[in-house]
A and B are shown apart, each in its own frame.
Chain A
Amino acid sequence: MRADFRIWGLLPAWVIMGFTLIIPIGIVIAVSFAARGAYGGFDWALSGEPYVQILYQVGWTDELEFNPQYLYIIARTLWLAAITTLICMAVSLPVAYYIARQPRAVKAALVYLVTLPFWVSMIVRVYAWLMILGNDGVIEKALVATGLTSGIDSLLFNDGAMLVGMVYSYLPLMILPVFASVEKLDGALIEASHDLYANRWVTLRRVILPLAWPGLMAGAILVFVPCLGAVLEPILLGGGKQLLMGNLIQTQFGGGRNWPFGAAIAVVLMGLVMIVLMARALRDGGRHDAA
């Protein structure tokens, strides 16, 4: 391989990432300190106004009043992303363990079936839940048909509906890494644990869980990060009123509303993701040092 290929082979990737991601993100950070434009967009003028707006609103007499509404949105986003991640972890471990213990052919078929829905368009998968949970949806029909109830209020437009949709969207991202680590698990270790009089629960806690932990952590990042930026689920299943950070950012840019404020929320979101990734990198680094 010629030496100069080392440079120009990587150049296109650098140019396109620089132009569409690295520079634009710098601009987002700059805009988050800009002033709101009179006709939408923004004016270049240094101001901390967008960040102040996250915490305060301007009262009747121009004084700043503390208003936690956006803090609630940030907290709700973190909370839903965390719960989604935990549910995915709790479901993935037993399912991955079961799949890993199947004969070779069955195992391959089941892994294929796990990945398949992930290829189906995200919007179609969220729409499916609209049909199930919605007014006159499948669940309501089933409940009425069995005579349990004569009709229920819509199951949509609440945190629970968003949670179901988010778990559904991101579950395959958790199963695959967990499966990868559970599959390598040596059955002899479990037998050894039983020989030493551990029951199934203790074996799970002291042997299986620690060995599956790297997979669970890798999956947690893959699920948690996109959950923080979820847009479709809050709009379609949450009804747009149950705001999460993702659709809060989106509304600020629709129809030229408040770009600097939207940019500030985007910066906060990036900061949260960065904290998660750094915590993970630090943990990994620590493990390497110990080894």
Chain B
Amino acid sequence: MTRHDVRHYPGLGLLTAAFFAYLYLPIAVVVFFSFNENRLVSVWTGFSLKWYDSALSNRALLDAVKTSLTLAVIAMVLSTTVALMAALVLVRAKGVKGRRISETVVNLPLLLPEIVSAVAVLILFSQLGLTNGLAKLVLAHTAFCIPFAFLPIRARLQGMAPDYEEAAQDLYATPWVTFRRVTLPLILPGVFAGAMLAFVMSMDDFITSNMLASGGNTTLPVYIFGLIKQGTTPELNAISTLIIVASLIIATTALVLTFRRRIP
């Protein structure tokens, strides 16, 4: 690139470097201090893994992880199933009445600030007298996970010509067999990506879970929020680092699946 390239703006490289520093330094700080031996978070005295040890033997934390994982897996399965069905109809079926309004309804959680929908389900559940904590969380999480599962599945379906499905039908495959043997294998990367997004969104959720929180059903973010309110500790950093590592692994898998080569 020459100095006289008119498309080149000076200083952009520096700005981009500063931008990435801003993006990653906070995460690096958390990871770095999780290895600090000292009780005081920001006084570095030496390398130690003891906070990981204490985090992994913390009963309350493990319970929260269990609640969050159970919730996220159920919400992921339900929301991906619902989203897959909706995507098949909205992309593939002909002559669907009210396609636009159905699409808006599927994506509704993206159009509302989460605090509003959280308050809305709280009032509904209290009016219905619903007391099962996990059931309330599953319903609410499934709803806001649906658009995150829907969008990658729809993208995959839209990027795929209907020829294969038509060929299968010409060979007398029933709609179910066509779906099982042709459509599903072809859109599987999109389904996986959507399921993973849904899983992460459920694991990550604070606003709705906190609003519906009841004893015995504390999710991981709600538990962490409680710890943060008591002040920063090295154990909190160790927990955060474990979460960061887990999310990076899931994110990388999902991105690889999404950007894998398109079907011919």
Contacts and interface: CB of A to CB of B under 8 A. Distances in A.
A95 B119 contact: no
B228 A127 contact: yes
Interface string B191-220: 000000000100110110011000000000
Contacts of B25: 132
B140 interface: yes
B84 to A, nearest CB: 9
Interface string A195-210: 0000010011000000
Contacts of B255: 112, 115
A230 B177 CA distance: 46
B124 A23 contact: yes
A28 B85 contact: no
Contacts of A23: 124
Interface in B46-94: 81-83, 85-86, 88-90, 92-93
B207 A231 contact: yes
B161 interface: no
23 contacts: A6-B96, A10-B89, A10-B102, A12-B86, A13-B83, A13-B86, A16-B82, A17-B108, A21-B143, A24-B121, A28-B123, A94-B12, A95-B19, A119-B247, A127-B232, A128-B29, A131-B33, A203-B6, A228-B113, A250-B211, A263-B123, A266-B119, A270-B112
A229 B19 CA distance: 25
Contacts of B173: none
B9 A200 contact: yes
A191 B6 CA distance: 6
A58 B23 CA distance: 47
B85 A119 contact: no
B123 A119 contact: no
Given A10-B102, A225-B113, A20 B139 contact: yes
Interface string A208-241: 0000000000000000011011011000100000
Interface string B16-34: 1001101111110110010
